Amino acid sequence: MATGRDELTSYEYRQLRARILRESDVCIVCGHGASDAVDHITPVSKGGARLDPDNLAPIHGVDGCPVCLRKCNSEKGDRPLNEVLYLNTSVDWFAGP
């Protein structure tokens, strides 16, 4: 079993990350597409499962969102998703089709 943050380079994590991004690239923080990373919905430091696909979701990583320019992963940090402020726009990105 991986310790620390070693799971982020494991084969299992990379496969899981690729699968999640294949299924959707809509960021859990800002709601825009083109996410290039995945993040834990419930942070591992707060008891979230490291490699549970239900605890991982797309998020904009180091380069940030190409639409709203937020640094979504940095803004979220180790806070649970419900503590992160959603972006208010003229389009409700979370409403679905």
pLDDT digits (tens, 9 = 90+) for 22-55: 999 999 999 999 999 999 999 988 898 989 999 9
Q: Which helix (H) or strand (E) holds 13?
A: helix 11-23
Residue 93 has pLDDT above 80, yes or no: no
pTM: 0.77
Average pLDDT, the chain: 85
The rounded distance, in Å, linking the Cα atoms of 48 and 76 is 15
pLDDT digits (tens, 9 = 90+) for 7-19: 777 899 999 999 9
Q: Which helix (H) or strand (E) holds 40?
A: strand 37-40
Percent of the chain clearing pLDDT 70 (strictly above): 81
Residue 2 has pLDDT above 60, yes or no: no
Residue 21 has pLDDT above 50, yes or no: yes
